[in-house]
Amino acid sequence: MATVVPMTFTKPDPFTTRPTLRGTFGMSASTHWLATATAQSVLERGGNAFDAATAAAFVLHVVEPHLNGPGGDMTGVFVTAEEPGNPVVLMGQGPAPAAASPEHYRSEGLDLVPGSGALAAAVPAAVEAWLLLLRDHGTWELQAVLEYATGYAGDGHPVLGRVGATIGAVAELFRKHWPTSAELWMPGGRIPEEGELLRNPAYARTLERLVESGAAGSSREARIDAARREWSVGFVATAMVRSVQTPHRHSSGTDHRGVLAMSDLEDFEAGYEPAATMQFRGHAIAKTRAWGQGPALLQTLAILDGFDDHYLDPSTELGAHTILEAEKLALADREAYYGDADVPLDYLLSAEYATARRALIGDRASLEFRPGRIPGREPFMPPLRTGYVPPALTNDDDGPGLRGGASDSGGTRGTGAAGASAGVGEPTVLPTGETRGDTCHLDVVDRWGNMISATPSGGWLQSSPAISELGFCLGTRLQMTWLEAGSPSRLTPGKRPRTTLTPTLVLRNGHAITALGSPGGDQQDQWQLPYLLRTIVGGYAPQQAIDAPTFHTTSMPGSFWPRTWNPGGVVVEDRLGDDVIAGLERRGHRITRAGNWTLGRLSAVVRDPLTGVVQAAANPRGGQGYAAGR
């Protein structure tokens, strides 16, 4: 049946970089072709979506080590074939260690949690979460699931150019301060070149030992649980805790020990939680709850739901302006109210509250930080450090390249004290190791109707010194906490940092129909929103929506160290069009052009519950994401 595009929306470009895949068996999509191929291989060999997603996730640890790792975290949202209308969150976000108090960090001379180094490490949770999912909802043995990643780590895989570029950016840090990282990622003292085989035998051996730990188990579930115990109390935990005892360089420019302890690892378990959902134009959108940023997308949709369709077209000046202003309001509430705390989410998602927030949107861009008011609560007002402007990028279709002396439309130049380029499409890595625009993503749907969207992240190779015997390092998620009193996301022992990881499920008539997501830190939900508007309201096919030009705001405090913001800042793909961009500038938005194909790294899988037809699409930007299926 042909798609009918409403006349109120800009028609999609008939050209797409690749087709929307269609079939009836199963579909996989991710940010790296080897992970996609792995997931699809599992489906072809009889595994279900959860077997496939777990196998692909461990491959992402190996092939995208600059974007995620075993020492990081993940969140997922899924439905099972037995309960297709019950979205469940897979919670793989570890908490702050017991010794990670604001007082300790201030005693170390810090006023922010660093962006790199072991002091920024939450309890590693990604591996625990994937193994829990595999135990409870998968069908395969652990050894079969891990053999893909074990092979790529032990035998090698053709390395991405961006991995080498990341290693090059932090090479001096590795040589001078993190010798274990130099040994692992710069074999022979050399930065690996694109396409050469990169091996990580230490990680391959770690995976083999996890499998061996459960070999004598009486059941598949018992064997997986034995591997989970080995991770949390055995050789992995011992090595992780030992690694933080040596003082090492952090992004602050000072040396510190970490605070992770054996008891932190032993006490943590991943789990399942009900998703937060909201109705929009006949669809239910499912996200994590407000310990993650996901509900900010729901708030944005609640605000936009009160506008006529022609206000929602991301390809027009009016639509882009309206979307950006709604996002700024929702993201201000994220800073003011979200965290691993008692968040009044029902009120924040209510029609009454959305109506009041919608009334604040005018014809001009707001340059203010404007959280809403909740009865009986004072909004947390974070320190608003300006200090930088997102740098301009070369107009290069192959991806962004930094250009010196960047300026916004107001004439401000330079990158400020942080030297950071937050807000761009590809990950930004500074010589001190801190990173923005991080993360991987994967989506899988099988022929039975199991569906999952998952966003693994953290523990990237530039996070902290490599743990030689394990082949990976710890993550840096605690940088998303504040040390200031009054914040719902204040650093608190045992509490989860407010994560940026935000996968999405879309449901209609009681059945999940779409799993989607994107890397991109603070931009994740902002890049997903145009996809949702274009597919739900505009009638776009999945690949058309992914290919279409996009944008995002930087007019909120960033989640990554050093937590700066750019009031009124907007980063746009040039393909949005000169007329639209000029119109946004006239409205007061401070524009940074990012090139033609630089923003958004979405993937998606789709299933029609009536026919069983499945679809998939993936991001062409950067030449790395792929979809597969039949």
- Residue 386 is predicted with a pLDDT of 75
Over range 107-136, report the average pLDDT.
96
Angle at 90 between CA 85 and CA 94, to 5 degrees: 160
- Residue 561 is predicted with a pLDDT of 80
Note the pLDDT tens digit of each residue in 569-590.
999 999 999 999 999 999 999 9
> CA-CA distance, 487 to 334, in Å (whole number)?
11
Residue 406 has pLDDT above 60, yes or no: no
Handedness of CA 130, 131, 137, 143 (dihedral sign): positive
Over range 153-180, report the average pLDDT.
95
pTM: 0.92
Angle at 549 between CA 544 and CA 555, to 5 degrees: 135
> CA-CA distance, 124 to 92, in Å (whole number)?
8
Closest by alpha carbon to 8, among 613, 402, 534, 442?
Answer: 534
Confidence band (pLDDT; 50, 70, 90) for 408? Answer: very low
- The set of residues, in sequence order, having a beta carbon less than 8 Å from that of 518 and lying 6+ positions away, is 441, 524, 527, 528, 600, 601, 602, 603, 619
- The set of residues, in sequence order, having a beta carbon less than 8 Å from that of 83 and lying 6+ positions away, is none
Q: Two tokens at 206?
A: 């770690």
- Residue 564 is predicted with a pLDDT of 85
Residue 420 has pLDDT above 50, yes or no: no
Confidence band (pLDDT; 50, 70, 90) for 397? Answer: very low
Confidence band (pLDDT; 50, 70, 90) for 428? Answer: low
- Residue 430 is predicted with a pLDDT of 60
Q: Which residue carries 């191929």 as its tokens?
A: 37
- Residue 108 is predicted with a pLDDT of 96
The average confidence (pLDDT) of the chain is 91
> CA-CA distance, 559 to 382, in Å (whole number)?
11
Q: Two tokens at 252?
A: 């602050």
Confidence band (pLDDT; 50, 70, 90) for 432? Answer: low
| Burial tier of 312 (Cβ tally within 10 Å: 0-12, 13-18, 19+) | buried
Confidence band (pLDDT; 50, 70, 90) for 431? Answer: low
Confidence band (pLDDT; 50, 70, 90) for 416? Answer: very low
Domains (ranges, CATH) in the chain? 22-272+447-480 (no CATH), 274-366+389-440+498-629 (3.60.20.40)
Q: Which residue carries 């991995």 as its tokens?
A: 163
Over range 214-237, report the average pLDDT.
95
Residue 427 has pLDDT above 90, yes or no: no
| Burial tier of 106 (Cβ tally within 10 Å: 0-12, 13-18, 19+) | exposed
Over range 229-243, report the average pLDDT.
98
- Residue 422 is predicted with a pLDDT of 38
Over range 376-398, report the average pLDDT.
60
> CA-CA distance, 430 to 462, in Å (whole number)?
9
Q: Two tokens at 439?
A: 């993360």
pLDDT-above-90 percentage for the chain = 87
- Residue 7 is predicted with a pLDDT of 56
pLDDT-above-70 percentage for the chain = 91
- Residue 413 is predicted with a pLDDT of 25
Partners of 618 in the beta sheet? Answer: 603
Over range 529-553, report the average pLDDT.
98
Over range 515-528, report the average pLDDT.
95
Q: Two tokens at 549?
A: 């030009």
Residue 407 has pLDDT above 60, yes or no: no
- Residue 390 is predicted with a pLDDT of 38
* Helix H or strand E encompassing 284: strand 283-287
Confidence band (pLDDT; 50, 70, 90) for 389? Answer: very low
Residue 423 has pLDDT above 70, yes or no: no
- Residue 439 is predicted with a pLDDT of 86
Confidence band (pLDDT; 50, 70, 90) for 433? Answer: low
Lowest mean pLDDT among 208-217, 387-396, 454-463: 387-396
Q: Give the three-state DSSP class for 24.
A: coil
